[in-house]
Amino acid sequence: MVEHIAQRIETGTLVYDPRTGKVGEYCGTAGPYAMLRPVGGGREWEAAPDSIRSATAEERLSAAVRAANARSVEGRCTVTNVPLPPVPVPGCQACTELALLREEARARDDGTTETDANVLLRRHHRRDHDVEPDGEVRRIFRYVPYSIVQDPSAEPEYEACCVSGDDADCGAASGPYKDPAPVEEWQRLHTQQTRHTRYRRCFADYAVLERG
């Protein structure tokens, strides 16, 4: 069973151990056990290989939050890419009230209320100001119809390549022409000389997109 698990789960995958109720990083096997490391680092523990499974998205998120909280309590939080708190829009009463709620929560060390205020302020930014949380104006893209037409200023090209042959293609080519007639004439001559009858024909032109 250990060998089966090693083949099914890659090293580094976050898995759920029902015996301990914890999510851990799969580190491989040691004897009859699967070795798991706590999310965020720590001492490995042994798990039954036939009971562990890949952690769900909710379980992975919950484990990551617990690890971040633990690092913060220990005074060595290393979470990166944390979004900056949203900035109130000057002159907006709703922004001012939410920012005040956030500051009061921060002053009394109420992290839950502070987070809720940031979420509400970001939502208010998007809904009422068309502003992203990082302060940039939201860009709205609209569909514009285009038509693809052949470029009349560029001539098309015709070409043929012989792909006859038992072991490998002949490979002889007509070269590019602006008209299909010279290419067809080359095919007839090549067939007379070699008895080859199979060709790959190519047509190339230039196209432009015109706004409808």
Would you tell me which CATH number, out of the four given (3.40.50, 1.20.1530, 2.30.30, 3.30.1490), belongs to the domain 2-73? Answer: 2.30.30
The CATH 2.30.30 domain(s) of the chain lie at: 2-73
Beta bridge partners of 148: 209
Q: Where are the beta strands (DSSP E) in 112-198?
A: 146-150, 157-162
pLDDT digits over 170-189, tens only? 999 999 998 999 999 999 99
23: enclosing H helix or E strand: strand 22-30
Q: Does residue 22 contact residue 38 with C-beta atoms inside 8 Å?
A: yes
> Tell me, what's the pLDDT at 61?
77
Specify the length of the chain in residues. Answer: 212
> Tell me, what's the pLDDT at 32?
87
Residue pLDDT tens, the chain, 212 long: 444 554 578 888 899 999 999 999 988 888 888 899 998 788 899 998 888 998 888 888 788 777 777 766 555 544 455 567 888 888 888 888 888 888 888 888 888 888 888 888 888 888 887 765 555 555 556 677 888 888 888 888 999 999 998 888 899 999 999 899 999 999 999 999 999 999 999 999 889 888 87
- C-beta atoms surrounding 15 within 10 Å: 21
Place of tokens 């060709």: 199
Beta bridge partners of 23: 16
> Tell me, what's the pLDDT at 77?
45
> Tell me, what's the pLDDT at 138?
55
Separation between Cα atoms, residue 66 and residue 62, nearest integer Å: 6
